[in-house]
Amino acid sequence: KVEQALIDQIRQLDGDMEFQTYISLSWQNCPDVVQALNLMSVLNPRIRVVTSPMDMSPSCWSIGVQVVPFEVVFQTPPCAVPT
């Protein structure tokens, strides 16, 4: 269960955001991270989530993926979290 205050904060996030998440199906925390990011994208239409497997390819190494879960966030404009 997610607290209403957290839901409100997610809905109020400003700017377009894309989360590129690299995961491993064998790592126990990855499903929780994917679920949390998916919830954020459901609550805020300006949040987009892309999930990719950590496959040891050059593209993973080129952006510095060394551990999973690993998130890269692209946002426009820079995000201001409401207080």
Q: What is the pLDDT of residue 76?
A: 67
Residue 22: count of CB within 10 angstroms of its CB: 22
Q: Per-residue pLDDT tens for 16-62?
A: 999 888 888 777 888 888 899 999 999 999 999 988 887 767 777 67
Cα(71)–Cα(38) distance, integer angstroms:
13
pLDDT band of 83, cuts 50, 70, 90: very low
Q: What is the pLDDT of residue 78?
A: 52
The Cα diameter of the chain in Å comes to 41
Q: What is the pLDDT of residue 3?
A: 95
